Amino acid sequence: MILSYIEIADGDIKKTSLEVAQMAAELAKKMGDSALAIAIGKADVTKLALIGNYGISTLIYVDTDVSISKNIATLVANIATKNNASTVIFPKSIMADAVAASVAIKIDAAIVNNVVEIPDTANGFSVKRSIYTGKAFAKVEIKQAKKVLVLRKNAISTQPTSDIASVETYKEDISTNHLKITETNKTKGDILLTDAEIVVSGGRGLKGPENWHLIENLAKALGAATGCSKPVSDMDWRPHHEHVGQTGVKVAPNIYFAVGISGAIQHLAGVNSSKILVAINTDPEAPFFKAADYGIVGDAFDILPKLTLAAKNYR
Ligand SMILES: Cc1cc2nc3c(=O)[nH]c(=O)nc-3n(C[C@H](O)[C@H](O)[C@H](O)COP(=O)(O)OP(=O)(O)OC[C@H]3O[C@@H](n4cnc5c(N)ncnc54)[C@H](O)[C@@H]3O)c2cc1C
């Protein structure tokens, strides 16, 4: 049995979890096994059933407001054991990383993080993972019977069908005595940076917070989330939750626009899972151009209004 862990955010399945479901379904098919999903949280059952679009026929749903990794890991490990899961696949997120590590210990599994492909099972169980903040790949042979895999964002392309999964509710009393979350303040913004299909990010080249409407206008026209470089959030031009990079949020959109961002290695470490990188910079020697798929050498103050207008016209 291949078990996929489905994350819920604001009542919906997160995009990265759709990729996990697809990977679990394809891996199960390859191994002549079956695939099951588990979702823990608060969600509409009809929305959860849509996981069937990604090859999962049954989803086990635990309707709870428990959001502490230790408790979630207990639930996942128990369900994995009850269903004799050989492999549990998690999406990449701060919470899922913690749960995955804990589940691996509980079920005595080998764990591989940053997986980028469906494992090769032709001769053993070989997993390709990204290393050195996405600059290289490694192949890992897993010998252990039980495996926990954490899938890197945007690594698997999904092909949704119109199939619907059956949702089975599961109840288990898990103690929450050791820790209780009493208040949660969510970051504002229409589109979650970590889930966004398109991100428009600004750096010090924007000169000041008073110019951020240029970034926001392009983001709005494209249906994108906004991000920034570290110095920009350090100077309080933008909130810290928008800081992208090695020490900030790691994003994996289909398109990442870096506007007035030099392309320091610490920034690139947070964006190199993006499918397409677009750099806009006045300096043709800016390091970002070496990483970018498309580059515009020019002044952000000229280019951004033009791109925004073009995006509006296109839409
Ligand atoms: C331990 C450590 C961790 C770090 N972690 C991170 C991290 O997570 N994320 C991160 O971003 N940084 C991080 N940094 C900082 C990083 O090294 C860089 O200093 C930072 O990314 C630079 O930000 P920037 O590109 O916005 O600014 P700058 O380096 O000042 O670059 C500004 C760019 O804007 C261009 N520009 C200027 N005017 C215009 C214009 N009108 N139109 C278009 N382009 C223009 C310039 O040519 C330049 O390339 C870290 C550093 C350290 C030491």
Q: Please give the pLDDT value at position 191.
A: 77
Query: What pLDDT score was predicted for residue 94?
Result: 87
Q: How far is the CA of 190 from the centre of ligand 1 (A)?
A: 25
- Over residues 34-69, the pLDDT tens digits come to 999 999 999 999 999 999 999 999 999 999 887 788
Mean pLDDT value across residues 114-133? 94
Integer-rounded Cα radius of gyration of the chain: 21
For a mutational test of ligand 1's pocket, the pick from 207, 259, 266, i.e. the residue with the most ligand atoms closer than 8 A to its C-beta, is 266
> Are both 2-169 and 193-314 of the same fold?
yes
Q: Are 246 and 190 in contact (CB under 8 A)?
A: no
Give 192-237 as a DSSP string: -GGG-SEEEEE-GGG-SGGGTHHHHHHHHHHT-EEEE-HHHHHTTS
Q: How far does residue 265's CA lie from ligand 1's centre (Å)?
A: 9
Q: Which atom of ligand 1 is nearest to the CA of 262?
A: 49
pLDDT tops 90 at residue 132: no
Which helix or strand (DSSP H or E) is residue 103 part of?
A: helix 94-107
Ligand 1 atom with least separation from CA of 207: 38
pLDDT at 136 over 80: yes
CA of 228 to the centre of ligand 1 (A): 9
Distance (Å, whole) CA 218 – CA 156? 28
Quote the distance between the C-alpha of residue 157 and its chain's center: 13
**DSSP structure string for 139-171:** EEE--SSSEEEEEPTT-S-----S---EEEE--
Q: How far is the CA of 32 from the centre of ligand 1 (A)?
A: 49
Q: Span 271-298, mean pLDDT?
A: 96
- The residue whose C-alpha atom lies closest to atom 37 belonging to ligand 1 is 205
- Ligand 1: residues whose CB is within 6 Å? 203-205, 229-232, 245-248, 260-262, 264, 266-267, 270, 280-283, 286, 299-301
Give the per-residue pLDDT at 188: 60
Calculate how far, in angstroms, residue 263's C-alpha sits from the geometric centre of ligand 1: 6
Please, what is the end-to-end C-alpha distance for the chain in angstroms? 44
Domain spans of the chain? 2-169, 193-314
Residue 53 near residue 86 (C-beta atoms within 8 A): no
Residue closest by Cα to atom 50 of ligand 1: 266
213-222 vs 300-314: helix axis angle to the nearest 10? 20
Question: CA 209, 247, 10: angle at the middle one, nearest 5?
Answer: 80
CATH number among 3.10.180.10, 3.30.1490.20, 3.30.1360.120, 3.40.50.1220, domain 193-314: 3.40.50.1220
Residue 89 scores a pLDDT above 70: yes
Kindly give the number of the ligand 1 atom that is closest to the alpha carbon of 265: 17
**What is 2-169's CATH number?**
3.40.50.620
Nearest ligand 1 atom to alpha carbon 286: 49
Q: How far is the CA of 152 from the centre of ligand 1 (A)?
A: 25
What does the pLDDT read at residue 194? 82
* Ligand 1 centre distance from Cα of residue 19 (Å): 31
Residues 87-126 as b/e (b if ≥16 CB within 10 A, e otherwise) read bbbbbbbeebebbbbbbbebbebbbbbbbbbbbeeeeebe
Residue 301 CA to residue 203 CA, distance in Å, equals 13
187 pLDDT above the threshold of 70: no
**Tokens describing residue 232:** 């920009």
d(CA 219, CA 312): 11
Report if pTM > 0.85: no
Residue 258: predicted pLDDT: 98
* Cα 202 to averaged position of ligand 1 atoms, centre (Å): 9
What is the pLDDT confidence band of residue 177, given thresholds at 50, 70 and 90? low
